Chains A and B, each alone.
Chain A
């Protein structure tokens, strides 16, 4: 069963909205009732990552191009693993310093897979979109890793900009470019 392109586009729009919600929840400054900056512990984000992963896996069933099947499977793996770890952190059942790196590394991994997608199929429809989205994820993930490494307490993380641009690009992807 192969999905019509409009359904593929709808899937991308939904995943883009999930991603936008995830990064805004994680990276927008949140001020607690005591007036201090607080980190969001909403378990919805873990769920959103895993739902995104399940959506990417579903593409393996519906795709008709072998590299699309493989890459969406790997995207699904990354998102599910990140979602499980984020859910554990946000529920407070597993607290480790390295969990801070989970989301930026997942973002970097997803960005790298976009570049692989373009390398495998440079002439494919939507190749320019895929390249732009991959670069935005790579830049956003790298900026977040650097921010964690340097413990810089900026009010709004720099990585938020390319990541929000990525999310809006996925939400805005034209029907013809969705693959």
Chain B
């Protein structure tokens, strides 16, 4: 939850870029610091629910 909150604040402060709707563009969309932190947060949350 802390990671997800960090990602939201980070995204609000830094802003997110959006790229073309192509495989590379989707990769670039995801490969941005706040999005990566959010993805890790989601995975850790999922893992804690599964345990």
Let me know if B15 is at the binding interface, CB within 8 A.
no
Chain B interface residue count, Cβ-Cβ cutoff 8 angstroms: 13
Chain A interface residue count, Cβ-Cβ cutoff 8 angstroms: 20
In the complex with contacts A21-B44, A25-B44, A32-B51 CB distance below 8 A: yes
Residues 165-179 of A, flagged 1 when their CB comes within 8 A of B and 0 if not, give: 000100110000000
State the majority secondary structure of interface residues on B.
helix
Within 8 A of A (CB), among B9-40: 28, 31-33, 36-37, 39-40
Q: Which residue of A lies closest to B51 (CB)?
A: A30
How far apart are the CA atoms of A17 and B48 in the complex, in Å?
18
Binding site for A on B (CB under 8 A): 28, 31-33, 36-37, 39-40, 43-44, 47-48, 51
The 22 listed contacts between A and B (C-beta, < 8 Å) are A10-B28, A10-B31, A13-B31, A13-B32, A13-B33, A13-B36, A16-B36, A17-B36, A20-B37, A24-B44, A25-B47, A28-B44, A28-B48, A30-B47, A31-B51, A32-B51, A38-B51, A40-B47, A42-B47, A168-B37, A171-B33, A171-B37
